[in-house]
A and B are shown apart, each in its own frame.
Chain A
Amino acid sequence: MNNRDRILLMDRSIPTRKAFNFPSSDVPKQKLPNKNILRKKISLPEISQLEIIRYFTNLSRLNFSIDSNFYPLGSCTMKYNPKINEEIASFSGFQNIHPLQDSKSTQGAIKLIKLLQEFLGEITGLKGVSLAPLAGAQGEYSGLLIARKFHSSNNNNKKNIAIIPDSAHGTNPASAAMAGFDVMTVKSDNSGNVDIEDLKKIINEKIAVFMITIPSTLGLFEPNILKITSMVHKYGGLVYADGANLNALLGLIKLNDLGVDICHSNLHKTFSTPHGGGGPGSGPVMVTEDLSDFLPSPIAKVNKASYELFTPNNSIGKINGFHGSFGILVRAYSYIKSLGSEGLKQVSKNAIINANYIQSQLKNEYSLYSDRYCMHETVLSASKQKNKAIKGLDIAKRLLDYGIHAPTMYFPQIVDEALMIEPTESESKETIDNFIETMKNINDEISNSPEIVKSSPHNLPVKRLDEAKAARNPILKR
């Protein structure tokens, strides 16, 4: 890396340099409004076109990405993002349509929405589908509003409790709080399952919704799932499945068959749309047919051979400006269509085999929270390494030196020094073998030369950052 790469745009600015010119106006000059309301000065960078391209190209090289690195970031499903999907999403017929055009002129777009609704309904068994939510957290929030509206439409306004396992992702309680629920936490037992005895103590007629991630954030399938969902139903509650880990279940089991009433799916995880460095995502919400009248707007349907968008009668309303993240929906549809029924099953099968292969090879060097076969991801603990004054964080940083992105660290919070590893089905055995060998090497380094690990990374554009300083004295712009 050249140090010039880190110079910010404003510090490169030279008056009158240009990267772009607009043509002059082709209409007769119009009278301007009172100059009091007009902008006098705006300070933006003045840079040549080449310099812009070179600056951002060089910045991009400072990133790890799926295209360049193995990226086993647990619960994020960093699988290959097929290139053909990018090409398809940029078709003029998809990119160049206005969201408020008459449906007559956008039949292809609405048809695609309808077909993707059907696919996601088929995969989860939950046939009421809205593709509107713009991210997993928005899908969650929509699902919880649906639960609220369902209970209040049955005059069950006392149902105001959301029960959530302690292993859940932080968005679950955050979304439940946004939807106005009182959040109660149920413990996990020693093998990583929901502690049924604890659940029995907590649950009562006030339960509105039970939120559970399937498989759990520990990468484990809840063996008591049918018992749990029927218990929730007995108390008149609904079961919400966080579909963040759906990559483990494609074609293996349908969420609805497990007693799930509502779920969301992150298209940027299971269905391969690019994560984009932190979005755009998409988080469709799926519900049983009984609940489909509450779905967020809009839903696509066919009416006399023509496609149209509509708002269900008891809809929770609009949760964003238009029809969802359409460009992302195109990519997800294209992905599912490429794999077909059999391909989808192979996705989950290979994701599970890859994760178990890693787990079986590393469980001597690192500890397991629970010595069971995992699903699509395995949660290792660096608790043994802790005795040598090495933290999970140090191992994560050292992996970066070997060109491998770090696993998810310190999550789930119930696991000491957690390292959550999700290889996905995209990776070859050779890549995974290299990862296993690297993890073993790092464990050797911890015994032989711990300083190397503690002071890592050594081979990256920057060393460890002073994060406290960033928060204490926030510098948020130039």
Chain B
Amino acid sequence: MSNHPYIPNTDKDINQMLSVIGVESFEKLISDLPKHLLFPKLNIGNGLTEPELYNHLNIISKENFNLDEYSLFLGAGSYKHYIPATVNSILQRGDFATAYTPYQPEAAQGTLQSGFEFQSLVSRLMGMEVTNAGMYDGPTAFAEACLMACRITKKNKIGLVNFFNPTIIEVLKSYIAYKEIEIIEIKEPKEKIPEDLACLCIQYPNFFGSIPNLDEFVNISKSSDCLSIVHTNPISLGFLKSPGEYGVDIVTAEGQPLGVPISYGGPYIGLFSCNQTHIRQMPGRIIGQTTDIDGKIAYTLTLQTREQHIRRERATSNICTSTQLIGLMVTIYLATLGPDGIKDVGNLCYQKSHYLANSLRNIKGVIIENKNEFFNEFVFSTPLRPSFLNEKLLQKKIIGGLDISNIINNGILICCTEMNTKQQIDSLVSSIQEILNDNE
């Protein structure tokens, strides 16, 4: 039989190896397996050669619309930004991609040092003292932050200030299922805050794109004697003041906007930062600087006594992954953009989304729902159902915003990034005008 390219052993190798082992057949090696259940029929089909595989998957990929032909105005937790060529060029190096968790630090200084850079650059962006090596994604990082606050304060009420992305709340609910933890929704931070909160949490910018007043939020958290948690969009932090500057205790974010493709929702990375005082209650991997026996600077996984492989059922979390490779993309993205680039991208998002909002305001029947300042996303409504409007836009090769009519009457959450050209925005505005005229 001819070998599969991923399996080098030839029939001759196999016979030699079996004879060294001292068995006459492979079946002898698996004699502990119940015989009557062995070798079931596996309905997977024949294997494909590489060219066949390429074609097969190329065809499937083309059953998706090609976004190169569409303009995209969808955000709501996943944002299409430009990814500099440096990111993918480094990512393709097998030395990073095909290594594993750096259990042997002497043989993993590349992963460890770049992970240390990740912790450094993300801490700088957030304005926070410490960042871990990475979580699964934004919503799970936020859920873990709430659990951490409950551990630190030994309290069990989580206060969520409006308005959070509903998906983030759903994920939090899965993370606290079967725990004695309660979620309390708080409409206005000024309203009376219940006693005994473990943490007060806010999304910055919030689900509707609005920029909440973090000064007020942090003051209320402090006077309520609970921890403050901010869940942010990191691409906004070259433009907006960082949560750290306001004195927030824990910051989480979806790291995807920083150099990671939208890729139908994953793989992404959760960012998780806090202040030094709380590091021993932090979930996830942490990389620290130390020296080798010759005094040479080196990096290693540290504070591992928090983790599942040592503490088992008493660990701070069951997480083992740090989504390291995606963290590398974030690191290279931030290093490539530098301070000016991260300011520019934030400003471009702001300029374009406001140009869109101000253009939409001129259309009769369109209402911009945000009362406060917003960053790169906002909510508008028209007399038409969002599903109908989006359907019509799709025919014009425009992917419109997210239908949130379940929350705001005929509301659409729409987003601009630096990728949206003036031409795309103008064409979106004139298309909406046209559709409204046609359906008056």
Contacts and interface: CB of A to CB of B under 8 A. Distances in A.
A325 B261 CA distance: 12
A274 B263 contact: no
B53 A173 contact: no
A101 B74 contact: yes
Given A91-B61, A328-B267, A343-B47, 16 more contacts: A22-B82, A42-B339, A45-B338, A59-B113, A60-B110, A81-B97, A92-B68, A108-B64, A176-B313, A220-B32, A221-B30, A343-B4, A462-B296, A466-B290, A467-B302, A477-B131
B44 A18 contact: no
Contacts of B94: 65-68, 81
B29 to A, nearest CB: 5
Contact of A318 (B84, B124, B171, B300): B171
B399 A396 contact: no
A360 B308 contact: no
Interface in A125-148: 125, 134-138, 140-141, 145, 148
A25 interface: yes
Interface in B385-400: 390, 394, 399
Contact of A321 (B74, B120, B254, B290): B254
Nearest to B46: A340
Nearest to B65: A105
Contact of B26 (A47, A183, A320, A349): A349
B185 interface: no
B39 A252 contact: yes
B108 A276 contact: no
A228 to B, nearest CB: 12
A339 interface: yes
B164 interface: no
Contacts of B170: 317-318
B64 A107 contact: yes
Nearest to A281: B321
Interface stretch (B99-107, B154-162, B222-230): B99-107
Given A400-B107, A406-B104, A321 B171 contact: yes
Nearest to B83: A95
B194 interface: no
Contact of A275 (B98, B119, B311): B98
Contact of A276 (B23, B38, B97): B97
Interface residues on B, range: 35 or more
B315 A474 contact: no
A225 to B, nearest CB: 7
Interface in B361-406: 373, 390, 394, 399, 402
Which of B7, B46, B285, B289 counts the most A-chain CB atoms under 10 A from its CB? B7
Contacts of A32: 350
B317 to A, nearest CB: 7
B439 interface: no
A302 interface: no
B341 A397 contact: no
B321 A280 contact: yes
A296 interface: yes
A95 B263 CA distance: 4
A226 interface: yes
A98 B399 contact: yes
Interface string A177-202: 11110010000000000000000000
Q: Which 5 A-B pairs have the closest CB atoms?
A: A322-B265, A93-B61, A276-B325, A67-B94, A99-B265
Contacts of A49: 86, 336
